[in-house]
Amino acid sequence: VPEGHSLHRLAREHRRLLVGHELRASSPQGRFAEGAALIDGHVLRSADAYGKHLFHDYGAGRHLHVHLGLYGKWVSNPQPAPEPRGALRLRLESQETYADLRGATACELLTGAEVRTLLARLGPDPLRRGSDPDLAWRRISRSRAPIASLLMDQSVVAGIGNVYRAELLFRHRVDPYLPGRDLPRETWDAMWADLVVLMRAGVKAGRIVTTDPADRPAGRVTRENAHYVYRRTGLPCRVCGTKVLTAELLARNLYWCPHCQQ
């Protein structure tokens, strides 16, 4: 599942390639035909990400909302666009660029009021300037739920997915099952500051790297060396050598070091 950094990276790409252009919009697959007809021929005014949600503003109260979910993908390339194939939900085209959306969980037109309602349900996004970590802290500090569940709850923090969740907990040596209300305030402040740095680096690089240089072999960061615990079940912890554990929590795999994180 794409995490927040991917959506912010997409928004940035759409700002660079599509914003300011009058776009042709079509839904070759037909599932978004009505919506596409309403934005066809309009100028894209802005593209923005909040957590894992992407928004395009076409003016006149027409906001495109996309949530990629598990299988969604946007691909942008220079024209000419090939013949549409398969389940192509939405194709946007300027003179120079085409952008194809497939497999998204949500692809819909919303009014400004509907966008505000949706945003009001989201917690602060570490990638948005001015986001207030206190809003997340209020939820965390009052909850008996495990911190690992709270971090994945988009109404607590917007944009964290499974990788950032596992890695953030490791980096701060927090037991994933610790109830939110038992997390020390200073730990949360440090976690938030760390998230901002890690996620910004993710936007820049287009990938998630959470290991510190001291904890991985020198040179290019390979996929194997990019994380402390995520998908490292049974491998030795990079810090203490204990085998990394995995368990399911709310239908998602959790990874942690039982020695470092207790």
Is residue 259 involved in binding Zn ion (CB under 5 A)?
yes
Strand partners, 245: 256
Residue selected from 7, 101, 148, 237 as contacting Zn ion according to rule CB under 5 A: 237
Q: Provide, rounded to whole angstroms, the least separation between the CB of residue 21 and Zn ion.
A: 50
Is residue 257 involved in binding Zn ion (CB under 5 A)?
yes
Count of residues near Zn ion by CB under 5 A: 7
Q: Which amino acid is at 15?
A: R
Q: Provide, rounded to whole angstroms, the least separation between the CB of residue 207 and Zn ion.
A: 23
DSSP run (H or E) holding 198: helix 185-205
Residue 120 · residue 112 · CB < 8 Å: no
Residue selected from 190, 240, 247, 250 as contacting Zn ion according to rule CB under 5 A: 240
Q: Provide, rounded to whole angstroms, the least separation between the CB of residue 196 and Zn ion.
A: 25
- 52 given a catalytic annotation: yes
Is residue 172 involved in binding Zn ion (CB under 5 A)?
no
Distance CA 54, CA 106 (A): 10
Strand partners, 82: none
Burial letters 160-187, b for 16+ CB under 10 A, else e:
bbbbbbbbbbbbeebbbbbebeebeeee
Closer by beta carbon to Zn ion, 119 or else 239 = 239
Which stretch in 16-24, 54-62, 214-222, 240-248 sits in contact with Zn ion by CB under 5 A? 240-248
Residues in the chain: 262
Please calculate the CA angle 151-166-196 and round it to the nearest 5 degrees. Answer: 65
Closer by beta carbon to Zn ion, 43 or else 239 = 239
- 73 given a catalytic annotation: no
Q: Where along the sequence are the contacts to Zn ion (CB under 5 A)?
A: 237, 239-240, 242, 257, 259-260
Could you list the active site residues? 2-3, 52, 252
